[in-house]
Chain A
Amino acid sequence: MNSKLIKELPELVENDIISQDIASKIERYYQSKTNNTPNRLFTVFGVLGSILVGLGIMLILAHNWDDFSKSIKTIFAFAPLVIGQLLVGFSILNKKSKTWKEASGVFLFFTVGASIAMVSQIYNIPGDFTNYMLVWILLCAPLIYLLKSHALAILHLVYATIYACNYGYADGTKAPWLFLVLILLLIPYYVSLLQSKPKANITSVFNWLLPISLIITLGAFITKFDELIFLSYIILFGLFYNLGKLPVFNNLKLRQNGYLVLGSFGTVVLLLISSFRIVWEEVLTISSFSGNETTLVTVLFVISLGVLVYLFLKKEVNKLNMFHYIFIIMTILFFVGLKNDVSPTIITNILLLILGINAIKIGADKMHFGVLNYGLVIITGLIFCRFFDTDMSFVIRGLLFVFVGIGFFATNYIMFRKQKNKNTSIKSLDAIEIKEEDIKTLK
């Protein structure tokens, strides 16, 4: 894009839009800028190369070379690790470039795993897979900070998630509490990224990966009272939505704000599921719950409420936007649902309708086609779900579909016209201004 601008410069000078002096200043500015930015592509390939070599070494060691003596195998276990450590030490001491640090760090990450795995092989240590992962992740966690490595931070998050899944879901009786410690270890890094470069691509990657990781792992914490899974996820999505509305995230583009998108989408999907009466019939069967799960849900709720209150104090809440409060309403409905299954079902359906209209209104106000159609999709989803469990005649169902279809066309068309009008009015305004300038210069 910059090169395109530089190419345009001669033409601009020729037509007296800017002076030669300014043109060369612009050129110099962009050239100095490109010199300052490190070669990102090079870093990416460096990291990819390290991942491949690291995984390759793990696979080669996994061959289990039983022709070699135990001591030679032990040397094999340590050699890659020591090489990785030397490379990282070298890049720290010689203040090597970002590429060096990222690539050597990633290589060391995999060699740590390889060496522990190799020793396990030599001595036939049955070793719990999750323990192995935990030790591996913890041994590499300090490197994230020492090397300031994005790639290692991502690996940490991905492997911590795999750990939590293996620990929690595979067994089903234990909650992976140590996963929270692993996440806490990453938080300072994430916060410093948010402060130093909130709009960078790498920060957006974490804005998505962190909530995704939590969504994947939350279920693993609920081991005894499965009914609470539903409530805990509703609150988690509420938390994400409200987090996404914090000033630090809300100023980002939608595709950079994973919290907002996942929170909103997750809430809608869960509400669609719970618009079926069968969900509430299940809630009705709950006799009691207690223990760690209840604490977890309570803590989640308090945090979400805290974020919402903060938003209120900062006047960041659009009071008519239902998405902010859904988690509170659903929590209340959950407790109502312990006694009665009809009213929560009806209220959930009404909530979905309100959310749909809400999104359509936000979309129309902001002239955002995506949000507008999101609202329409919510309503369509709601109608679709009701087709399964109501005894409406086919004619009425058919008519409903036709109406919603026309709704899609109509709203999009109206908005399209509105936008076009706005654009043409802006353009004509520009034209008028230019004409005025011409007149002035003529005078």
Chain B
Amino acid sequence: MKNMKLQYVFVLFILVVIAQLLVPAQMIFGQETVLNKGTAYKFKTQPVDPSDPYRGKYVTLSYDIRSFITSDTIWERKQDIYVYFENDSLGFAKLTEVSKIPLVTAKDFVKTKVDWFNKYDKSVKFNLPFDRFYMEESKAKPAEDAFRIAQRDNLPNNTYALVYVKEGEAVLKDLFINEVSIKDYVTINKNEE
């Protein structure tokens, strides 16, 4: 009888173990699918540097794509918004339209939340959902500084995020300054100093 109970407890425990393993595994699977099969886009961006108690340091990215002028004037805070975009001639992502419901179109999109609606210039504001880039803790702050310096020079389009998008799912792969990955850029700058 006692043994039966132990078996019962153990079987339940195994189910819990499987669930605990499945959640991170499923996250990995979803992200890998987007990275392998999704389309790559470059989003022009600027970083700032906060941190998260459990997941460590990251840079928050503020994208150039963050508002859209629309004739629709009824937008509520935190409402779902579908943002559609395509690649422009220079290879950067360009916003084409926004919608409250998914549209029937071949264009790629991401789903995010409305930040607020500006009544005066009739633009709806939002943040793209892939706005966090995790970095080694010693590099997050230098990365932010490096970005600011790179923004100041006269070269156009020199800071961007490489994002893979597939069926509304987006994965932020890397961050670039002047075509150099941010991790390497920070290391190079450190060595030069």
A78 to B23, CA, bound (A): 11
A139 near B: Cβ within 8 Å? yes
B24 near A: Cβ within 8 Å? yes
Assess whether B10 is in contact with A92, with CB atoms less than 8 Å apart: yes
Q: Which of B14-22, B66-74, B115-123 contacts A (4 or more CB under 8 A)?
A: B14-22
A116 to B56, CA, bound (A): 13
Within B26-74, which residues are at the interface with A (CB < 8 Å)? 27-28, 31, 52-58
Assess whether B20 is in contact with A64, with CB atoms less than 8 Å apart: no
Instruction: Give the residue name and chain of the B residue nearest to A94 (CB).
Output: B6
Assess whether B133 is in contact with A124, with CB atoms less than 8 Å apart: yes
Assess whether B54 is in contact with A139, with CB atoms less than 8 Å apart: no
A6 near B: Cβ within 8 Å? no
Q: Is the interface of A mostly helix, strand, loop or mixed?
A: helix
B148 near A: Cβ within 8 Å? no
Separation in Å of the B32 CB from the closest CB of chain A? 8
A142 to B10, CA, bound (A): 12
B contact residues around A118 at 8 Å (CB):
24
Separation in Å of the A165 CB from the closest CB of chain B? 14
A113 to B9, CA, bound (A): 23
Digitize B131-147: 1 where CB-to-A-CB distance is under 8 Å, 0 elsewhere.
Answer: 11111110100000000
A129 near B: Cβ within 8 Å? yes
Assess whether B27 is in contact with A85, with CB atoms less than 8 Å apart: no
B contact residues around A95 at 8 Å (CB):
6
Assess whether A81 is in contact with B20, with CB atoms less than 8 Å apart: yes
Separation in Å of the B96 CB from the closest CB of chain A? 23
Assess whether A121 is in contact with B23, with CB atoms less than 8 Å apart: no
A173 to B131, CA, bound (A): 22
Assess whether A173 is in contact with B78, with CB atoms less than 8 Å apart: yes
Assess whether A121 is in contact with B55, with CB atoms less than 8 Å apart: yes
Known: A93-B6, A139-B20, A146-B12. A63 touches B27 (CB 8 A): no
A171 to B31, CA, bound (A): 27
A407 to B135, CA, bound (A): 65
Assess whether B31 is in contact with A78, with CB atoms less than 8 Å apart: no
Digitize A301-334: 1 where CB-to-B-CB distance is under 8 Å, 0 elsewhere.
Answer: 0000000000000000000000000000000000
B contact residues around A139 at 8 Å (CB):
16, 19-20, 23
Digitize A69-81: 1 where CB-to-B-CB distance is under 8 Å, 0 elsewhere.
Answer: 0000010011001
Known: A89-B10, A124-B132, A146-B9. A116 touches B171 (CB 8 A): no
B129 near A: Cβ within 8 Å? yes
Known: A62-B55, A93-B10, A95-B6. A123 touches B23 (CB 8 A): no
Within B161-188, which residues are at the interface with A (CB < 8 Å)? 171-173, 183
Instruction: Give the residue name and chain of the B residue nearest to A129 (CB).
Output: B52
Digitize A84-118: 1 where CB-to-B-CB distance is under 8 Å, 0 elsewhere.
Answer: 01001100110100000000000010001111111
Digitize B1-17: 1 where CB-to-A-CB distance is under 8 Å, 0 elsewhere.
Answer: 00000100110111111
Digitize A50-71: 1 where CB-to-B-CB distance is under 8 Å, 0 elsewhere.
Answer: 0000000010011111110000
Assess whether A64 is in contact with B136, with CB atoms less than 8 Å apart: yes
A20 near B: Cβ within 8 Å? no
Assess whether A112 is in contact with B20, with CB atoms less than 8 Å apart: yes
A362 near B: Cβ within 8 Å? no
A contact residues around B107 at 8 Å (CB):
none
Separation in Å of the A247 CB from the closest CB of chain B? 32
Assess whether A63 is in contact with B56, with CB atoms less than 8 Å apart: yes
Assess whether A124 is in contact with B172, with CB atoms less than 8 Å apart: yes
Assess whether B136 is in contact with A173, with CB atoms less than 8 Å apart: no
Separation in Å of the B22 CB from the closest CB of chain A? 9
A135 near B: Cβ within 8 Å? yes
Within A117-143, which residues are at the interface with B (CB < 8 Å)? 117-126, 129, 132, 135, 139-140, 142-143
A341 to B26, CA, bound (A): 58
Assess whether A173 is in contact with B77, with CB atoms less than 8 Å apart: yes
Assess whether B171 is in contact with A123, with CB atoms less than 8 Å apart: yes
B130 near A: Cβ within 8 Å? yes
B contact residues around A58 at 8 Å (CB):
54
Assess whether B136 is in contact with A66, with CB atoms less than 8 Å apart: yes
A125 to B35, CA, bound (A): 13
Assess whether B56 is in contact with A88, with CB atoms less than 8 Å apart: no
Known: A65-B136, A124-B172. A142 touches B12 (CB 8 A): yes
Known: A62-B137, A93-B10. A124 touches B20 (CB 8 A): no
Known: A64-B137, A92-B6. A119 touches B24 (CB 8 A): yes
Assess whether A146 is in contact with B136, with CB atoms less than 8 Å apart: no
A contact residues around B54 at 8 Å (CB):
58, 62, 113-114, 117, 132
B contact residues around A146 at 8 Å (CB):
9, 12-13, 16
Instruction: Give the residue name and chain of the A residue nearest to B31 (CB).
Output: A123
Assess whether A64 is in contact with B24, with CB atoms less than 8 Å apart: no
A contact residues around B134 at 8 Å (CB):
64, 120-122, 124
Assess whether A78 is in contact with B183, with CB atoms less than 8 Å apart: no
Closest 8 CB pairs of A and B: A62-B56, A123-B31, A124-B172, A121-B134, A126-B132, A119-B24, A117-B55, A66-B136
Beyond A115-B24, A126-B131, 19 additional pairs, beta carbon < 8 A: A63-B56, A64-B135, A66-B136, A89-B13, A89-B17, A92-B6, A119-B24, A119-B27, A120-B27, A120-B55, A123-B31, A124-B134, A124-B173, A129-B52, A139-B19, A139-B20, A143-B13, A146-B12, A146-B13
**Can you sample 25 A-B contacts with CB below 8 Å?**
A58-B54, A62-B55, A63-B137, A64-B134, A64-B135, A64-B136, A66-B135, A85-B20, A92-B9, A93-B6, A108-B20, A116-B24, A116-B27, A118-B24, A122-B28, A124-B171, A126-B130, A139-B20, A142-B12, A142-B15, A142-B16, A146-B12, A146-B13, A173-B77, A173-B78
